[in-house]
Structure 1
Amino acid sequence: MSPRKDNKRIDIGGMSNTLNQHYEDKVRPYIDLVDNLRSLGVEKDLNLPAIAVIGDQSSGKSSVLEALSGVALPRGTGIVTRCPLVLKLKRVEKGAPWSAVLTYKDQVKILQRPKDVGSAVSSAQNVLAGEGKGISQQMISLEIKSSDVPDLTLIDLPGIARVATGDQPLDIEKQIKDLIEKFIKRQETISLVVVPANIDIATTEALKMTSKVDPNGQRTLGILTKPDLVDKGAEESVVNTVNNHVIPLKKGYMIVKCRGQQDINEDLSLSKALLKEQVFFQNHPHFRPLLEEGKATVPLLAERLTRELVEHINNLLPQLHKQVEYKLDKTFNEMRKLGDGVPQEETEKNNFLIRKINNFNQVLSDVMRAEEDTQNSEPKVFTKMRKEFAKWKQQLDSKAVRLEENLQDEVEEYTHNCRGKELPGFVNYRTFENIVKKHIQEMEEPATELLKDISGIVHSCVNKVVSSHFEAFPNLLRAQEHGKALEKIQSQFKMEKIVYSQDGLYSHRLQAVKQKPQVIRMLNADVREMAQHLNAYFLITSDRLANQVPLIVQYHVLDQYFSRLQASMLSMIGCENAMKLIREDSGVAQRRKSLKDRLERLRRARQLLAKFLLSVS
């Protein structure tokens, strides 16, 4: 249930705030939930609801954040924000001491005074992004507790630079845009686009970027700054922009006036700057209606942002809960595949190895029997092999058809060049034999291609079995029987050149061919007789090769390979080098640790979400 906005206005340390205590009690848990999830490091695994603050250089972005946070952030020319800064603002009771905590990498710094924040953030950026003008994607977290701030969390991103200057990297614009896009393209992110009121809003790079990832402006809120610099006569254009008439955004626009450079030079405090802002809008003939409509001043912006963030979090809670559950299941499955790692004691190591090998060999046996478990409706290994064997039979059948179509020309050529004393109608055996050998030889290359394709299927299967049982153990040897199968296939084709068939089988097939109507009319008796003998014999040979070649391939590439692999694995038990099989490399150990860490933070995230959903139900 989304928190309700109350209209009662109260003062918070000079910042007029419409959030009463009842509302704040409802707001804080939502923001704390996301802050706690972010503190767990869950953002490594899933996207959290956030408000990202973006703007071109010198847009007034830092001034807006200063006004909201009550502290002076780093200022200067060029790129000031060089790392994503998570700004966590937590309102405490009036009279409670101000405090801040800065966190980056493994560093935690406690800050006692607001004026220490700027230098502390600068130092952290130098550590993460270097002393120059480069940027870093590593995040800095700044948590501020004060009675003068709203309950709000923002992510400040570097200002968009157009051209590299000084010691900036040449591709600095691309680096910054890539970093900004990483955040604003997420559906979980609200983009807070800061734009100076005294320029044409359509030309700002920040708004162009958000329009690409959020074309309907569903997740974009525009903030206009520097209203005191608007030229006379241009005020109506600014009012139209804030009233959403120029470049419409679903969340619309607000306008604020923060400390300018002269205010800083005169050491104007942030609290006095808020009063000065209130007076500016109240006395401005064009902008006063915007104040009355709740579209102007930093305090009203703070209220608006808090409300937007809380509603955004509330809407995304179901999706967030589903994401955590999905990531937990996925991580658990990855952990299960890696296992618990190799035991330390020698006895346990041997038992561990035996279990691994037995499980591995059982899966290979299931594959040989075509009884393996398949996932995602993937066909079994033998099902894939059967399709390749069917293609081989189709190639043989196509060869038989082409042979019959081209036989007349071939026989005529052979009889013309090789015919001896025999009378027409007598078959010249040498001619018959030569034509048979020629066509049989042409099928040897497709047969070796079949072997190659089946080897690929089996090799892919072994890789998957290995990865599911010995993924952590890279020393497993994967020898194949490809060479023996190739030798047998070559021997088969050498035997086929002998030209042989059982007399009864050949006579029966020849009789069937002679009774079959001729596709091509052959007037020459030599051609007709030779064609019939060749058709009969090639049909016999085709049937023989259709069975024999797949049998050789299956026997060597699947059955013999798997059987030898199983035997080799079993022979490893008790051998001197057996432990090499289960020796983990450092990368796998690190991956297991990473998965354990992820599992732990996701479990804690699930607990946080479950507790929160129970409290608001």
Structure 2
Amino acid sequence: MEALIPVINKLQDVFNTVGADIIQLPQIAVVGTQSSGKSSVLESLVGRDLLPRGTGVVTRRPLILQLVHVEPGDARKHEDGSREGEEWGKFLHTKNQIFGDFEEIRQEIENETERISGTNKGISDDPIHLKIFSPHVVNLTLVDLPGITKVPVGDQPNDIEVQIKDLILKHISNPNCIILAVSAANTDMATSEALKVAREVDPDVIPVKLGLIGVVNRSQLDINNKKSVADAIRDEHAFLQKKYPSLASRNGTKYLARTLNRLLMHHIRDCLPELKARINVLASQYQSLLSSYGEPVEDQSSTLLQLITKFAAEYCNTIEGTAKYIETAELCGGARICYIFHETFGRTLESVDPLGGLSTIDILTAIRNATGPRPSLFVPEISFELLVKKQVKRLEEPSLRCVHNLVAIELAYINTKHPDFADACGIMNNNIEEERRNRMRELPSAVPRDKAPSAGPQGEQDGTGNWRGMLKKGDEAPSSRPGSPLRGSVNLLDVPVPAARKLSSREQRDCEVIERLIKSYFLIVRKNIQDSVPKAVMHFLVNHVKDSLQSELVGQLYKLGLLNELLTESEDMAQRRKEAADMLQALQKASQVIAEIRETHLW
């Protein structure tokens, strides 16, 4: 299982390149208060002085410390001759630069901390990544977190306690994290701040489940006197053997290192299946995300032409119902047009009453106005045309949203010779003709019979068998006696016939004739409109657009001056594509790293 820790180190390196924490890798986080000996424990595990020291919050950024065991003499092999020593360090932010002097490593940690967190003792969640290669270390990965503090010191922010606690909780809340809680030996375990914080994310941390290990760190006097870590580890071993011989084998820095190494390896083994599944799921998600962003535009001219062609084709397919993806939530394209034609538009036309808004008084007034100063023996044709145009115009509003010209065409000419209209009028022919003959018999004897309008073949030829014949005006009837007003005449000072007056039988009959004719002709026009509007829309709009869409778009958009304006990608989209591509590459590489683990490495 020793190979598992380098695997996790590789995964950390992979995801560090994209600056992402979407994968919660197994790790050991070091938690403790200021001056609890946290830095001394870490330096003992490394075997060298390398961490900044001072008053206040010294560790102001998380330090991801990877310890890599190398055999003596392997420096040249691992670094391709770039190192001659057997211990060295590398930072992620300095790329391939090698640090053989651990004092330089300490200084680089301080410089990088100030570069991000500033010099005012503020903290940052952006970690520093450091690898230490040495034959004196075991494979181990630790995350050194800022020390817990209670009271701001010097120029520390007033909320430094909250900032540090939030940063610590963010790291140790990772379910794949092992918490290394460091407490000073001269403090009560019940009041340990490190254990208190650990318990917030792991209520079962007390009693300490993974064991309690005692180590002997250098005192401040030892540090001031430049006592080396190696000497301190030797003195620690001697102290434990002398004072606690029965416990010496289960305590001390070396035992701590071996224990952490074992715990981390077993923890990695347990987390590996879930980690592998998580990486595969994320890789699939980022592959879909990257595909949704499309490819960056390289040949603008070709891309624009392809887009126009694709858009025109998809438009036509949607109209024809042959689109690749069929919408199931709502009607669209040709199906929606069909629904509007035959459902919405059809119902709207049928809801228009042929005689709506037209009263008997309106009809009678139109008839009277059409006769002028003298009454007519028959219903005047002009009154019908006037009233039927008014009614037909009511079809304009629902048709206007589809096509206007058809209604205007119907209004331009009232075709009373329409065969359907003539057939409808045939029902009334006999009654009207009989009524006309009865009126002829009632004319005064002074009018010769041969002057009466003929009802013979010539009369039929003149139109008595159709609407125009029915409405053809006969001779004007003279007054019954000299000086008497014309029958049916209207005083020019009078208003139209009041609704309260009872209509005469002739007025009633004339109004009924007009109503029936208006209704008959209105239904004919409505039928024509209901049939013609969809055809006109399809011909002049839908099919015209289908036939000319691509050529029109090419003519309007395929111009050199518009290419940059139309196809220049936003910086935000380019950045999102790059981030998605980098993350996908990292996930794919991580998947390869895990796939290289053999089954034998797990046991």
- TM-score > 0.5, shorter chain as reference: yes
Question: How far, CA to CA, are the matches of 1:103 and 1:344 in structure 2?
Answer: 41
Look up the equivalent residue of 1:268 and give its one-letter code: K
- Which deviations, in whole Å up to 9, do the C-alpha atoms of 1:392-447 show, x marking residues without a partner? xxxxxxxxxxxxxxxxxxxxxxxxxxxxxxxxxxxxxxxxxxxxxxxxxxxxxxxx
- 1:13-412 pair list within 5 angstroms: 27=2, 29-41=3-15, 44=20, 45-72=22-49, 73-94=51-72, 97-105=85-93, 108-217=96-205, 247-284=206-243, 288-292=245-249, 294=250, 296-346=251-301, 348-354=302-308, 357-358=311-312, 361=315, 380-381=329-330
Look up the equivalent residue of 1:595 and give its one-letter code: A
Question: How far, CA to CA, are the matches of 1:171 and 1:382 in structure 2?
Answer: 58
CA 1:203–1:88: 2 relative to 1, 3 Å: same
Aligned twin of 2:586 = 601
Aligned twin of 1:551 = none
* Residue 262 (structure 1) shift: 1.3
Question: How far, CA to CA, are the matches of 1:580 and 1:258 in structure 2?
Answer: 67
SS of the aligned residue for 1:159 comes to: coil
SS of the aligned residue for 2:182 comes to: strand
Question: How far, CA to CA, are the matches of 1:589 and 1:600 in structure 2?
Answer: 16
Aligned twin of 2:350 = none
Question: How far, CA to CA, are the matches of 2:32 and 2:319 in structure 1?
Answer: 62
SS of the aligned residue for 1:110 comes to: coil
Aligned twin of 1:516 = none
Q: TM-score, normalised by structure 2?
A: 0.57
Question: How far, CA to CA, are the matches of 1:571 and 1:152 in structure 2?
Answer: 67
* Residue 572 (structure 1) shift: 3.8
- Which deviations, in whole Å up to 9, do the C-alpha atoms of 1:505-528 show, x marking residues without a partner? xxxxxxxxxxxxxxxxxxxxxxxx
- Which deviations, in whole Å up to 9, do the C-alpha atoms of 1:329-360 show, x marking residues without a partner? 001101111111223251x2223323552576
Does structure 1 residue 589 correspond to structure 2 residue 589? no
Whether the 8 Å contact between 2:89 and 2:131 is mirrored in structure 1 is: yes
CA 1:178–1:604: 2 relative to 1, 3 Å: same
Whether the 8 Å contact between 2:4 and 2:601 is mirrored in structure 1 is: no
- Which deviations, in whole Å up to 9, do the C-alpha atoms of 1:166-191 show, x marking residues without a partner? 22222222222222122111112111
Aligned twin of 1:415 = none
* Residue 610 (structure 1) shift: 0.9
CA 1:185–1:203: 2 relative to 1, 3 Å: same
* Residue 154 (structure 1) shift: 0.9
Worse-superposed segment, 57-66 or 152-161: 152-161
SS of the aligned residue for 1:196 comes to: coil
CA 1:572–1:214: 2 relative to 1, 3 Å: farther
Look up the equivalent residue of 1:332 and give its one-letter code: Q
RMSD of Structure 2 on Structure 1 (CA):
3.7
* Residue 202 (structure 1) shift: 2.9
CA 1:616–1:275: 2 relative to 1, 3 Å: closer
Aligned twin of 2:476 = none
Aligned twin of 1:226 = none
SS of the aligned residue for 1:216 comes to: helix
Q: Which has the higher contact order (CA 8 A, sep 6+)?
A: 2
* Residue 315 (structure 1) shift: 1.0
Question: How far, CA to CA, are the matches of 1:87 and 1:131 in structure 2?
Answer: 23
Gaps of 5+ in 1: 4-26, 218-246, 387-483, 489-559
Look up the equivalent residue of 1:167 and give its one-letter code: D
CA 1:568–1:150: 2 relative to 1, 3 Å: same
* Residue 309 (structure 1) shift: 0.8
The share of aligned pairs that are identical, in percent, is: 35
Whether the 8 Å contact between 2:317 and 2:323 is mirrored in structure 1 is: no
- Which deviations, in whole Å up to 9, do the C-alpha atoms of 1:218-253 show, x marking residues without a partner? xxxxxxxxxxxxxxxxxxxxxxxxxxxxx3132122
Worse-superposed segment, 577-586 or 604-613: 577-586
Whether the 8 Å contact between 2:37 and 2:182 is mirrored in structure 1 is: yes
Whether the 8 Å contact between 1:102 and 1:140 is mirrored in structure 2 is: no
SS of the aligned residue for 2:65 comes to: strand
SS of the aligned residue for 1:248 comes to: coil
SS of the aligned residue for 1:253 comes to: coil
Question: How far, CA to CA, are the matches of 2:554 and 2:570 in structure 1?
Answer: 21
Question: How far, CA to CA, are the matches of 2:185 and 2:9 in structure 1?
Answer: 32
- Which deviations, in whole Å up to 9, do the C-alpha atoms of 1:94-127 show, x marking residues without a partner? 4663332332435554211233332222122122
* Residue 370 (structure 1) shift: 12
- Which deviations, in whole Å up to 9, do the C-alpha atoms of 1:108-164 show, x marking residues without a partner? 542112333322221221222222211122221221122222221111111112222
CA 1:279–1:373: 2 relative to 1, 3 Å: farther
Look up the equivalent residue of 1:55 and give its one-letter code: G
Question: How far, CA to CA, are the matches of 1:354 and 1:608 in structure 2?
Answer: 44
Question: How far, CA to CA, are the matches of 1:569 and 1:316 in structure 2?
Answer: 56
Whether the 8 Å contact between 1:572 and 1:578 is mirrored in structure 2 is: no
CA 1:162–1:361: 2 relative to 1, 3 Å: farther
- 1:552-571 pair list within 5 angstroms: 571=552
CA 1:91–1:600: 2 relative to 1, 3 Å: same
SS of the aligned residue for 1:101 comes to: strand
SS of the aligned residue for 1:352 comes to: helix
Whether the 8 Å contact between 2:6 and 2:139 is mirrored in structure 1 is: no
CA 1:324–1:358: 2 relative to 1, 3 Å: farther
SS of the aligned residue for 1:111 comes to: coil
- Which deviations, in whole Å up to 9, do the C-alpha atoms of 1:11-66 show, x marking residues without a partner? xxxxxxxxxxxxxxxx1x21111111111226714121111111111111000001
* Residue 365 (structure 1) shift: 5.8
Question: How far, CA to CA, are the matches of 1:199 and 1:566 in structure 2?
Answer: 87
Look up the equivalent residue of 2:329 and give its one-letter code: K
Residue-pair matches, total: 386
Question: How far, CA to CA, are the matches of 1:566 and 1:102 in structure 2?
Answer: 66
* Residue 305 (structure 1) shift: 0.3
Question: How far, CA to CA, are the matches of 2:198 and 2:70 in structure 1?
Answer: 34
Whether the 8 Å contact between 1:278 and 1:297 is mirrored in structure 2 is: yes
